[in-house]
Chain A
C-alpha cells in the first residue's frame, strides 16, 4: 500500500537577514532531515518541545512552506517541488486546523461563508445549495443550523474550533493536519473536541497528522508517535510501545516530565528529570543533538550523529546506545 503522505529527508532552514552590519546570524535549522509516513485513516502524532520544528514540519506537509530539500509525496505523487499554482488538487486532499481558532477565522465573515469558502473555491454552487451543505457540515461537528449567519466573535472558543474543523472537512480531505488544535482549549472543551475528532475519523476514515506537546492527549488519541528534538525525529513507535517503554533517552525524559493527574501514581515513580533547556536550533550541538542534556552520553555522541535506525516492532530510534544490544526488541514488548 502506498502511504497517504510520505515525507522523505525534509529540510527547512530559516536564514535571518543581516542585522545591524556585522555577521549574518547562523540559520535556524528548524527541520533538518525528517522522514515520516502517514497511512490512510491513521493518526500520527508529532511531539516535542517548543523550537523542535514540529510546527514547521506541519507547514511543510501542508506546502505552506517550500522545503529546502527532500520530498513530499501525497498518495504516491511528488508535490514537494510543485509550484503553488499546481497545488490546487493537493489542497483539496490535505486540510489544516490550527491552535487559535480566533486567529484563524476571518472575523468579518459569517459562519456560512467561512465554511463555504473552500467549497466555492472548488465548485460552482448556488447560494441555497451552499447553505444546505454548510448546515450539514455544522451538524457533523455537533453544531446547529442557527449558527449559519453568526460571526466568529458571537460563539465560544470551543465552538470556534468546531467551525475550524467543519471548514477543514468541507472538501472531504484524506488528511487533516492538526497543529496544536486542542492545546488552547480548557480541559472540558478539549475533551469534547477530541471526542468529535475520534468520531469523525471513524465515520470518514480520515487520517490525522497531530502536532502536539501534551503527551497524555497523544497517548489517548494517536496510533503512532514521532518524537522530535531540534529539527530531527529521534524516535518513532506505536503509541502503546512508546509509553510502555521509550527507547530514546529524550523520549524517556519527556515521559518522565509529564505530570500524572493521579496522586497515587505521581508520587511513586522515580522521576529522572533532565537538566537545562533545549539548545537553540541555530546552534545545534555536534554529533547527537541531545548529547548536551543526555544522561547516557559518551564521547562518541559528540562526534557521530546517530541515524534513525529500525528497532523492531515498527519502531525506529536515533541513539548510539539504544536499543541496548542485550535487549534488542525483536518482538513486541
Chain B
C-alpha cells in the first residue's frame, strides 16, 4: 500500500466475540488489514478460522444475540463504521459495500422475480422510478452475462440454474456500483466449469468497475487464479499476509506451509506420493488462547511458542508473518 492510494477499507485490531452460554470467545482476534481502491485481496483459512465472521463484522450483519464487535475499528473511506446504528449501515450496505454469499438459492427471495430483486436495490439506494429501476435491472443482468436479460428478468429464482442464480446475486451486489465487494465463498457450491465462469466474471467486473474485492475462500487454487494479495487466518488471527506470488513461492508461516503442503498438486510437483498433512485439528473456539495458537500442530514449535503470541513481523516487501521462528526457518521444509 502506498500513500498515493489511500485504503478504501481498513480494519484496525478488529475483535469480534461470539457468545456461547455465559462466556464469549474471540472469533476474530485483533485483525488489521488494508484494502486499496480497486485492489483484490483474499482471506484464506480453514473452517472456523474466523473469515466469515470477519466479513459479517464489516457488513454489520452480526446477529447481536450471538456476536458483537468488542474492540477495534472498521474504516470505510476513513470513517469508522464498526459501531454505526443499523439505519446508517443500511444506506451503506448495497451502495458502498456489497456482499455475495455462498448459497445463491437461500440469498434470493423465492417469490419475487429476479428483475424485481435487482430493481429493489437501486430503488432503495438511488430513488429511481420503477421504470428506470427496471431498466437498470435489465442492464445489470446483461452485465453479468445472463442471456436474454429482458425476458429473464421475469423469471423466478427456482427457474434458474445455480450458476445463473449466482450471476443474479452478483448483479444485485453490483447494481449501485459499490466501492468494495465482499465475496464469501462465492463459488464453493458450484460445479468446477461453472465456478470458472463465475470467477472470470467477478474478476473482469472488478477490473472494469474499479472496485475493491475481498474474496473469502478456503480454496488455494481459487486464490492463485484471482487476487493479487492474500491474508491467511488461523483461529481468528491473521498469521501471514503477502502478495499472491510471494505467498505461494515463499510461504513463511508453518501453517501456510502446511496448507500448501496438503495440496496434492504441490506434493506431485515435488515428486511426493504422501501429502505433507498438518497433524491434529484446528483448536475449537473455546480452547485456551495462550501463545501461538498453531503451536500444538506446528512441526517447528519450541517451548517459547506456547508462552507468548508472536506479533506480525516483516519478512519481505509487503510480506508479514506472525511466527517466532520465521527468521530461522526460511522458506519452509
Residues of A within 8 A of B (CB): 49-50, 156, 158-159, 186-192, 194-195, 198, 213, 215-217, 219-221, 253-254, 256-264, 266, 271, 273-275, 277-278
Instruction: Point out the residues of chain A lying under 8 angstroms from B161, CB to CB.
Output: 277
Classify chain B's interface size: 35 or more
Task: Given the known inter-chain contacts A215-B192, A271-B196, please indicate yes or no for A191 contacting B277, CB distance below 8 A.
Answer: yes
C-alpha spacing A50/B207, complex, angstroms: 31
Task: Given the known inter-chain contacts A216-B263, A262-B248, A278-B191, please indicate yes or no for A273 contacting B275, CB distance below 8 A.
Answer: no
B162 A277 Cβ-Cβ under 8 A: yes
Instruction: Point out the residues of chain B lying under 8 angstroms from A158, CB to CB.
Output: 281
C-alpha spacing A95/B273, complex, angstroms: 25
A219 B193 Cβ-Cβ under 8 A: no
What are 18 of the A-B contact pairs (CB < 8 Å)? A49-B191, A49-B193, A159-B281, A186-B46, A187-B218, A191-B261, A191-B276, A192-B278, A194-B275, A213-B192, A217-B264, A219-B265, A259-B222, A261-B220, A261-B248, A261-B263, A263-B225, A264-B249
C-alpha spacing A292/B275, complex, angstroms: 39
Is B107 close to A, CB under 8 A?
A: no
Q: Mark B161-191 against chain A: 1 for CB-CB distance below 8 A, else 0.
A: 1111000000000000000000000000001
Q: How far is the CB of B308 from chain A (nearest CB, A)?
A: 25
Task: Given the known inter-chain contacts A186-B218, A277-B161, A277-B163, please indicate yes or no for A257 contacting B46, CB distance below 8 A.
Answer: no
A187 B191 Cβ-Cβ under 8 A: no
Instruction: Point out the residues of chain B lying under 8 angstroms from A188, CB to CB.
Output: 46, 258-259, 262, 277-278
A191 B262 Cβ-Cβ under 8 A: yes
Is B47 close to A, CB under 8 A?
A: yes
B224 A262 Cβ-Cβ under 8 A: yes
Instruction: Point out the residues of chain B lying under 8 angstroms from A278, CB to CB.
Output: 191, 193
Q: How far is the CB of B167 from chain A (nearest CB, A)?
A: 11
B262 A259 Cβ-Cβ under 8 A: no
Is B267 close to A, CB under 8 A?
A: yes
Task: Tell me the interface secondary structure of chain B in the complex.
Answer: helix
C-alpha spacing A159/B279, complex, angstroms: 12
Q: Smallest CB-CB separation from A243: which chain B residue?
A: B268
Q: How far is the CB of A169 from chain B (nearest CB, A)?
A: 20
C-alpha spacing A264/B278, complex, angstroms: 24
Q: How far is the CB of A254 from chain B (nearest CB, A)?
A: 6
Instruction: Point out the residues of chain B lying under 8 angstroms from A215, CB to CB.
Output: 192
Residues of B within 8 A of A (CB): 46-47, 161-164, 191-197, 199-200, 218-225, 244-245, 248-249, 258-269, 273-279, 281-282
A49 B264 Cβ-Cβ under 8 A: no
C-alpha spacing A302/B221, complex, angstroms: 35
B259 A187 Cβ-Cβ under 8 A: yes
Closest 10 CB pairs of A and B: A259-B221, A220-B264, A191-B277, A191-B262, A257-B196, A49-B191, A186-B46, A191-B275, A188-B278, A277-B161
Instruction: Point out the residues of chain A lying under 8 angstroms from B275, CB to CB.
Output: 191, 194-195, 220
B225 A259 Cβ-Cβ under 8 A: yes
Additional 13 contacts, C-beta under 8 A, given A50-B191, A264-B248: A49-B191, A189-B277, A191-B264, A191-B276, A216-B263, A220-B265, A221-B264, A259-B199, A259-B222, A259-B225, A261-B221, A263-B225, A275-B197
Q: Smallest CB-CB separation from B230: which chain A residue?
A: A263
Instruction: Point out the residues of chain A lying under 8 angstroms from B221, CB to CB.
Output: 216, 258-261, 266
B264 A257 Cβ-Cβ under 8 A: no
Instruction: Point out the residues of chain B lying under 8 angstroms from A219, CB to CB.
Output: 264-265, 268
Task: Given the known inter-chain contacts A195-B274, A263-B224, please indicate yes or no for A49 contacting B192, CB distance below 8 A.
Answer: yes
In the complex, which of the residues A213, A217, A256, A263 contacts B196, with contact meaning CB atoms closer than 8 Å? Answer: A256
